[in-house]
Amino acid sequence: MKDNLLWVYLLLFPVTIFAQSDFNVSIPSTHYQVTFPNAIHHEAEISIVYKHLPDTPLTVTMSSSSPGRYAIHHFGKNVYNVKAFNGENEPLNITRIEPESWQITKHEGTVKVQYTLFANRADGTYAKIDDTHAHLNIPATFMWAKGLEQFPITIQFEAPTNSQWKVATQLKATSHPFIFKAPNLAYFMDSPIKLSDYSLREWSVQNPDGKKLNLRLAVTHNTSEKIIDNFAKAVKKVVLEQQAIYGELPNYDFDSYTFICDYRTGIHGDGMEHRNSTMLTSGDNLTYNMAFLMGTVSHEFFHCWNVERLRPASLEPFDFEGANMCNELWFAEGFTSYYDDLVLCRAGIHTLDDYTAKLTTELNYVLNQPATGLYSAVDMSQRALFVDAASFMDETNFQNCHTSYYPFGSVIGLALDLQLRSTFNNVTLDDYMHILWQKYGKKEIPFTSQDLENVLAELTKEKGFAESFFDSYIYGTAVNDYKTLLGNVGLLLQKKYPNQPYLNRCVLSFKKEQGFEITSGTVKGSPLYNAGLDIGDIVTSIDGVPLKEVQSLQKILKSHEVGDNIEVSYLHHGISYKANVELAEDYHLEVTTYEQAGQQLSNKIKKMRTDWLSSKISAAQKESLLLDENR
Ligand SMILES: [Zn+2]
């Protein structure tokens, strides 16, 4: 809460404020009440009681965006049956003044607004209600009042009769298990809520200053308690490995951090960071996919430092009705992506082979995207509004003009880490994150791109290096020399299918009796793109041979070599055309270890790889994990 705003309010509305006896300040209050009488059909009934309102019209609104997600979502589309009442429960006039805002012009200081919410998508952005749970992302669920952003909020739930629902949230608990508090709107909006019969694991982690913080793992699942125990053990390892990078856990509000997980059929795969919690969702089963699901756990937990507290200045204040454009998502999301898998490798949850497979996926994507080398990391970050779970009716050309800032930033993090390790004695990206944490994150001072560059200069004691790195790879469009950098840690980056011909970099969908329809945009520089073919065209024959079977295309390509010209017949708007297409060399890359390639690892390389990938947690912490393992 920003105290100065309360004083502005006191000056503006002195009569209302001091009307109470003993000079108790009656500030406006917001109380939400939530019931689920029609949960099976995904509805909640929500009422909000506002008290001590100033004598001005009250405007309530649904958000259009949600913290951690950068696209616009228009949550107002799923609320209806909006009504207003006074303190005596008599109807008040309420008018929809904008698609997502309603106004009550006349009232006497107490107003109850009520509405029905429909919610049927469980992920990090939306909400879902059914007979098994209520999964509530706050901006997708609750209206809020303009002008009351700085005032405290309480919320109360009534779980369906005979349900075993409990509440998992980062909101401040009270003595009542279904009543919670938030100090202000920004905190409330950042606090997702799960009501279900979840399994809970709790443990504490000590910081170097002696303070113990409470970690909670609330999992809604269809698996066994034994699996949840194993999951908790893996999560504990991740927590400690990440604590080692920054030197400490953040000082969580109310001393607690909550992993809110739902892994069941019908749940959408996602992960969303919040200040003292994360919402982790997937339709995958924890029994079979735990190693995969740990990737999101690691990613979102890393955000409790990087993004939630070590925060780009452009994300503050968060605009719940619009979009915050952020130049630093290559760092906020990209460096977090670099660390999510690195940490799993250090924690022994992923093997070196798992890790090189992840590097293969990322480098394949980034180095083969036409936009890489044309647009900067800042350009990619600025497009988040259009690509982060955004949906549009019209087509985009992202396959040719955009490289996702997640893998793009991740491999920049990889390059910077390997460059620091090989150029500067005993300096690593962990050190960089640690200094940034101390300087900005811990003190919650929002940073700019220039601050990131300055800290790199401070760390390396070479201003020229920092300047050149940022000018080349962050503001500029240069691409790091990944082959050389990976060689420093005994990894090979090479073509996966050398001298193999390829035809397309787009989705070809087989259509019986017709051939292969191009169902995604063709990629610039690929053979079909160069020959003028595009989405919607149907390739009917090659070299006069009709493509009547699914395997026919591969069979024909196998009989050719890189550089061969083939004749492609295709339908474009239903009319038959022919084009000469030159086959190119397969573009796929792969990362392998020197050992797999039969190459020797020098002692220097061996040491550098070990320093990079080995566990960073203390002997005492290892001991405690071991005890836990054997329990
Ligand atoms: Zn993220």
Q: What is the dihedral of CA 383, 387, 393, 394, to 10 degrees?
A: 50
Hunting for tokens 């939530």 — which residue is that?
34
- End-to-end Cα separation, the chain, in angstroms: 43
The rounded distance, in Å, linking the Cα atoms of 130 and 141 is: 14
Tens of pLDDT, residues 177-187: 999 999 999 99
CATH number of 311-489+595-631: 1.10.390.10
What pLDDT shows up at residue 587?
96
Q: Ligand 1 centre from 272 Cα, in Å?
A: 7
| Joined tokens for residue 336 | 């977090």
**Cα separation, 595 vs 189, whole angstroms:** 50
Q: pLDDT tens across 271-301, in order?
A: 999 999 999 999 999 999 999 999 999 999 9
Topology at the third CATH level for domain 224-304: Zincin-like (3.30.2010)
Q: In what order do the strands lie in the sheet with 193-196?
A: 128-130, 133-136, 193-196, 166-169
pLDDT for residue 629: 72
Please tell me the distance between residue 249's alpha carbon and the centre of ligand 1 in angstroms: 18
**What is the rounded CA–CA span in Å between residue 5 and residue 519?**
54
Q: How many CB atoms lie within 10 A of CB 322?
A: 12
**Ligand 1 centroid to residue 516 C-alpha, Å:** 36
Ligand 1 centroid to Cα of residue 540, in Å, is 42
Q: What are the Cα distances from residue 479, in Å, to 333, 367, 403, 408, 520?
A: 19, 8, 13, 10, 26
**Confidence at residue 372, expressed as pLDDT on a 0 to 100 scale:** 97
Residue 21 has pLDDT above 90, yes or no: no
Q: Which pLDDT does position 228 carry in this prediction?
A: 98
Secondary element (H or E) of residue 84: strand 79-85
| Average pLDDT of span 574-591 | 96
Percent of the chain with pLDDT strictly greater than 90: 88
Confidence of residue 11 (pLDDT cuts 50, 70, 90): very low
CB-based contact 125:140 (threshold 8 Å): yes
C-alpha of residue 19 to centroid of ligand 1, in Å: 47
- What 8-state DSSP symbol labels residue 475? S
Dist. CA 397 → ligand 1 center (Å) = 24
pLDDT above 80 for 329: yes
Centre of ligand 1 from the C-alpha of residue 342, in Å: 15
Flag whether pLDDT at 24 surpasses 60. Answer: no
Let me know: does 140 contact 154? Beta carbons within 8 Å: no
Residue 185: other Cβ atoms inside 10 A: 22
Picking from 150, 127, 151, 142, the residue whose alpha carbon sits closest to that of residue 82 is 142
pLDDT band of residue 49 (cuts 50, 70, 90) is very high
DSSP-assigned states of every residue in 170-207: SSEE-SSTTEEEESSHHHHHT--EEEE--EEEEEEEE-
Question: Distance between CA atoms of 63 and 73, rounded to whole angstroms?
Answer: 8
| 300: Cα separation from own chain's centroid | 7
525 contacts 508 by C-beta, under 8 angstroms: no
Compute the distance between CA of residue 448 and CA of residue 452 in angstroms, rounded to an integer.
7
Burial 236-269 (b: 16+ CB within 10 A, else e): bbbbbbbbbbbebbbebbeebbbbbbbbbeebee
Report which secondary-structure segment, H or E, holds 263.
strand 256-263
Protein residues placing their CB within 5 Å of the ion ligand 1: 333
Compute the distance from residue 340 Cα to the ligand 1 centre, in Å.
Answer: 10
pLDDT in tens, 538-561: 999 999 999 988 888 888 999 999
Ligand 1 centroid – CA 123 distance (Å): 14
Burial annotation 39-70 (CB, 10 A radius, 16+ → b, else e): beebbbbbbbbbebbbeeebbbbbbbbbbbbb
Q: Lowest-confidence range among 100-114, 333-347, 541-555, 578-592?
A: 541-555
DSSP class of residue 439 equals: I
pLDDT at 19: 35
Confidence of residue 7 (pLDDT cuts 50, 70, 90): very low
Does residue 23 have a pLDDT over 50? Answer: no
Side chain identity at residue 468, one-letter code:
S
Strand partners of residue 328: none
Beta carbons of 259 and 235 less than 8 angstroms apart: yes
Other CB atoms within a 10 A radius of the CB of residue 448 amount to 14
pLDDT in tens, 482-497: 999 999 999 999 999 9
Q: Quick one: pLDDT at residue 16?
A: 36
Look at residue 512 in the predicted model and tell me its pLDDT: 87
Span from the CA of 277 to the centroid of ligand 1 (angstroms): 13
Instruction: Output the CA 521–ligand 1 centroid distance in Å.
Output: 27
Predicted model pTM: 0.94
What CA–CA distance (Å, rounded) separates 330 from 377? 6
Q: What percent of the chain has pLDDT over 70?
A: 96
CATH class of 501-585: mainly beta
What is the CA(297)–ligand 1 centre distance, in A?
10
Which is more confidently placed, 2 or 573?
A: 573
pLDDT in tens, 141-176: 999 999 999 999 999 999 999 999 999 999 999 999
Indicate the fold that domain 26-196 takes in CATH: Immunoglobulin-like (2.60.40)
Residue 237 to residue 251: CA distance in whole angstroms: 19
Domain boundaries, the chain: 26-196, 224-304, 311-489+595-631, 501-585
**406, pLDDT greater than 70:** yes
pLDDT at 48: 98
pLDDT band, residue 25 (cuts 50/70/90): low
E-state strands within 496-574: 501-502, 508-511, 515-518, 538-542, 545-546, 565-572
Length of the chain: 631
Any idea which of 18-32, 84-98, 399-413, 428-442 has the lowest mean pLDDT? 18-32
CA atoms within 13 A on the CB side of 276: 22
Q: Give me the pLDDT at residue 113, please.
A: 98
Q: Which of 243-252, 359-368, 386-395, 521-530 has the lowest mean pLDDT?
A: 386-395
Distance (Å) from CA 403 to ligand 1 centroid: 16
CA 273–ligand 1 middle distance (angstroms): 7
Q: How far apart are CA 122 and CA 136, in angstroms?
A: 8
Average model confidence (pLDDT) across the chain: 94
CA angle (470, 325, 452) in 5-degree steps: 30
**For residue 627, is pLDDT > 80?**
no
Judge contact between 199 and 222, C-beta under 8 A: no
Alpha carbon of 500 to ligand 1 centroid (Å): 36
